[in-house]
Structure 1
């Protein structure tokens, strides 16, 4: 049998393609790829049985349909922290509707609130024991890691539906961090993220990439610490903010807090807002040179000058901790809305050996240590008791 020439083979292939159609030809060509992807998807789903995917929150709380609390699938009448937000919030649960004689408190803020979950639980027990048989106090922790005032507006609006008796606010450290979070959220791609999130293969690759970035950042931080153990690696933002950008962000901060306070006023919910305790002993300044300038003054015993310089440098630059500007806004809004202040800043200053916040009561640039957190709790407790005495008195 004669061997067909190249031209004859090409003609035969074209004839076959015409008979089955180009669409089917393309389909058959893609079939091996589809089978490979299906096999990988199946393998990824099997892998998730042993290693569940990491919690993922598409939109990072910037999307309008974001919800912090959702109905429990196992307990009717119970709301729980949205599992999608498990990486940013403590697990909470509460009854809806609210039982009689319950005094329900929500505390809004960033990681400084997130980290005091145990202290808030103990405070709720303490307050309940203060009014035996008359009132059960519950404090629901709404502190989100890296959450600033922008996303707290949405949370405040949400919790108004959960029969709050009191709102506590401690927020001001994350205003510039939240701008970076917004860029990372990529809201424009949210629909695509949600579609892809249904596939185990995408979740596997997403989690591996996230873990790799975290490990790489930790390795880089450890390397720099070994090179210079005295350097402050919490300082400085990736973006150098102009004075105009700093001023604009502070206007947004004031606007966001005003919205929250107006929401509470319109719903008849009392509010206690706290001033922000910020580390001025080792502040997270924009550059290492700024930090060294402040530390040099402290080393010379010129404490008042060092603290004044730290306050000025924080005010004038982008920061990952609150400054006098944030506290000035808090005090002005408290006066405007006639709400009590838990003066955490003043209480911390009073407790420090030289009156410089950060000398003994902070674990980093903005987070209080255990002793500092007790001061924060007591600052709020005094104001809470004055509000509880009337509704919870036997």
Structure 2
């Protein structure tokens, strides 16, 4: 009897364990066969010393392959050395720079500014942002981010809680329970689940999106609930989702002592009418719409104001009423009133592409609880806006900042980080001289083109007025190719660089070279290219910074020789010495030691001839030294000065003859 019970218990255990063992075995087999997608946040890069942001990580959140977006692919060192300062940015499309390329977005600008201000640091700003994600990405990324030992995490999120992937009003939705959604995200990382999804799709259980849907833009494809009234059940669920996910993420960062900056949400108020206006009481809808339609230009401003006031008293939830009152108040110079009603218009816009103010209030509360720093962008953007009301001066459409807006965001972060990172008394001077991020015309025009294409579609539906045929500039042609995805950003930058270089516009060519060098901070040849061009236009401090980066990533003898030669050619002898010392330490060639002796003697003699009476030996020696260095023009200047005083100086005549021979050989 006892044995029978033991057998029965054993069979039960096997019955429970067998499905688990089969699942584990299948998962292991699929992983071994490299089936499906690796949805880790960080994966191995083609370069051995680096990991990279997984370009496919968005498949965790997007239920449809057709909607999934591509990650940045940013590189980070596998082994974080002490000189590396690592910032990780988790954000939405704004943090990716949309509608511009990610290369001009505030994270890239921040990396550029920090690197220029702190040349002894290696600055990594790793952009984990994805178009259309929301706070579920914060929840899901937090532990993987901590494993990479960041010095700072920047969060720029909040606009996509309703229509972003897995949002409460999104077509890409796993339900309104945060716990179930989080479980769904975890399951989608498993190869077995990916296999089952593929089988369901093949069998027609899960249908593909039809072609008509795919012709719509991503914004429209992601919206399931077009109307989410202010204060409604779904509205509150979006806020609850945001608070729960942010709380978890900040708890993870806080327990691992990772500093966090949260950038408050901002959006266009003055130049973005509400997309959908609905009365708070359905019975009022027709009357409110009719009375607004009857408003016309024949009325005086006061008459319009009185009528709008009455309409508002009838129903205070109709967002278009608030917007029209805001416009009227702004026209009458009543800026505080205008700002209030523009904000109410945004809050009551039923199509929730712009985050409600409650998102910022929740973020402030949770940040305070877990020691994160909430950075209000609202205040700094208002200071840069006419009459303190946010509009087209800093925004391209409903919420994406323009280039000036990205510069403001980068500066806010830079100011905060520089206070924590390292005191630098020369920082204010550097801010004006070095920290202006290089924007080229193609990147700027590209953003304008993409904005026009966006506004042509839902929910803006603004027809594009095509200009008459005209000959496009090189910049316009390249930007157009980028906008319709006929050319890659890398190729566009290479063509633009060659164009400027061929026409001798080295200042614009340097902007392009810097953009590319900043986009690929670990690529030594690109750093070298930017440094050489900076030296050519006598931007010596900038050249030195790029050379330092090139040598840090690739300290080869060839790179050091090229830098030394470039400094000598530019007559920057003192600047060449540190690189020459590195070259001497690395190479056994005695010529480098001799060159250092010549440089030191030359520097001493040049100081002497400035302050003391003329001595022929000093000038002949200087001329000979520059001849050895290879600077024939400078050598000729000194021998000419010598022969002007002593025309028959034998040594001077011999040096001049040698110089002329080399000049003739060079010209031939």
* TM tier relative to shorter chain: 0.5 to 0.7
After superposition, the Cα gap between the structure-2 partners of 1:217 and 1:278, relative to the gap in structure 1 and judged at 3 Å, is closer
2:247 to 255, 258, 261: 258
2:258 to 265, 269, 280: 269
Matched residues in 2 for 1:140 and 1:128: separation?
14
Give how far 1:318 is off.
6.1
2:111 to 117, 124, 140: 124
Matched residues in 1 for 2:57 and 2:353: separation?
22
2:359 to 320, 326, 329: 326
Deviations 1:132-157 (A, max 9, x none): 22x11110111111111122211122
Matched residues in 1 for 2:81 and 2:401: separation?
34
Partner of 1:245: 234
2:344 to 304, 312, 315: 312
After superposition, the Cα gap between the structure-2 partners of 1:306 and 1:294, relative to the gap in structure 1 and judged at 3 Å, is farther
Matched residues in 2 for 1:365 and 1:341: separation?
23
Give how far 1:352 is off.
0.9
Matched residues in 1 for 2:162 and 2:113: separation?
35
Q: What is the DSSP-based 3-state SS (H/G/I as helix, E as strand, rest coil) of the residue aligned with 2:144? A: helix
After superposition, the Cα gap between the structure-2 partners of 1:359 and 1:298, relative to the gap in structure 1 and judged at 3 Å, is farther
Give how far 1:68 is off.
2.3
Matched residues in 2 for 1:69 and 1:162: separation?
9
Matched residues in 2 for 1:388 and 1:314: separation?
37
Asked if 1:215 is matched to 2:215, the reply is yes
After superposition, the Cα gap between the structure-2 partners of 1:282 and 1:176, relative to the gap in structure 1 and judged at 3 Å, is farther
Matched residues in 2 for 1:346 and 1:355: separation?
9
Any residues of structure 2 matched to 1:229-240 within 5 Å, and which?
A: 238-240=226-228
TM-score (norm 1): 0.68
Q: Do the aligned residues in 1 keep the contact of 2:269 with 2:342 (CA within 8 Å)?
A: yes
Asked if 1:93 is matched to 2:82, the reply is no
Matched residues in 1 for 2:244 and 2:372: separation?
17
Q: What is the DSSP-based 3-state SS (H/G/I as helix, E as strand, rest coil) of the residue aligned with 1:143? A: coil
Any residues of structure 2 matched to 1:177-188 within 5 Å, and which?
A: 177-178=163-164, 179=167, 183-184=171-172
Deviations 1:232-280 (A, max 9, x none): xx99952435622212321221222122211111111111111111221
Of the two, which has the highest radius of gyration?
A: 2
Asked which structure has the greater RCO (Cα within 8 Å, sep 6+), the reply is 1
Asked if 1:174 is matched to 2:160, the reply is yes
Q: What is the DSSP-based 3-state SS (H/G/I as helix, E as strand, rest coil) of the residue aligned with 1:175? A: coil
Q: Do the aligned residues in 2 keep the contact of 1:275 with 1:343 (CA within 8 Å)?
A: yes
Q: What is the DSSP-based 3-state SS (H/G/I as helix, E as strand, rest coil) of the residue aligned with 1:184? A: coil
Partner of 1:69: 42
After superposition, the Cα gap between the structure-2 partners of 1:161 and 1:235, relative to the gap in structure 1 and judged at 3 Å, is closer
Q: Do the aligned residues in 1 keep the contact of 2:53 with 2:128 (CA within 8 Å)?
A: no
Q: Do the aligned residues in 1 keep the contact of 2:268 with 2:399 (CA within 8 Å)?
A: yes
Give how far 1:291 is off.
5.2
Q: What is the DSSP-based 3-state SS (H/G/I as helix, E as strand, rest coil) of the residue aligned with 2:397? A: coil
After superposition, the Cα gap between the structure-2 partners of 1:271 and 1:217, relative to the gap in structure 1 and judged at 3 Å, is closer
Partner of 1:336: 369
1:79 to 34, 38, 51: 51
Asked if 1:106 is matched to 2:138, the reply is no
Deviations 1:162-204 (A, max 9, x none): 11111111111111113168642665995787337879x96xx
Q: What is the DSSP-based 3-state SS (H/G/I as helix, E as strand, rest coil) of the residue aligned with 2:128? A: strand
Asked if 1:365 is matched to 2:354, the reply is no
Matched residues in 2 for 1:213 and 1:82: separation?
27
After superposition, the Cα gap between the structure-2 partners of 1:235 and 1:379, relative to the gap in structure 1 and judged at 3 Å, is farther
Q: Do the aligned residues in 2 keep the contact of 1:352 with 1:361 (CA within 8 Å)?
A: yes
Asked if 1:299 is matched to 2:327, the reply is yes
Matched residues in 2 for 1:356 and 1:335: separation?
27
Matched residues in 2 for 1:305 and 1:237: separation?
31
Q: What is the DSSP-based 3-state SS (H/G/I as helix, E as strand, rest coil) of the residue aligned with 2:388? A: coil
Deviations 1:334-388 (A, max 9, x none): 3333333322111111111121112421112111111111111111111111121
Give how far 1:305 is off.
3.4
Name the Cα RMSD after superposition: 3.7
Q: What is the DSSP-based 3-state SS (H/G/I as helix, E as strand, rest coil) of the residue aligned with 1:104? A: strand
TM-score (norm 2): 0.42
Matched residues in 2 for 1:67 and 1:280: separation?
38
Matched residues in 2 for 1:132 and 1:340: separation?
26
After superposition, the Cα gap between the structure-2 partners of 1:208 and 1:263, relative to the gap in structure 1 and judged at 3 Å, is closer
Matched residues in 1 for 2:255 and 2:270: separation?
40
Unmatched segments (≥5 aa) in structure 1: 1-56, 59-64, 222-233
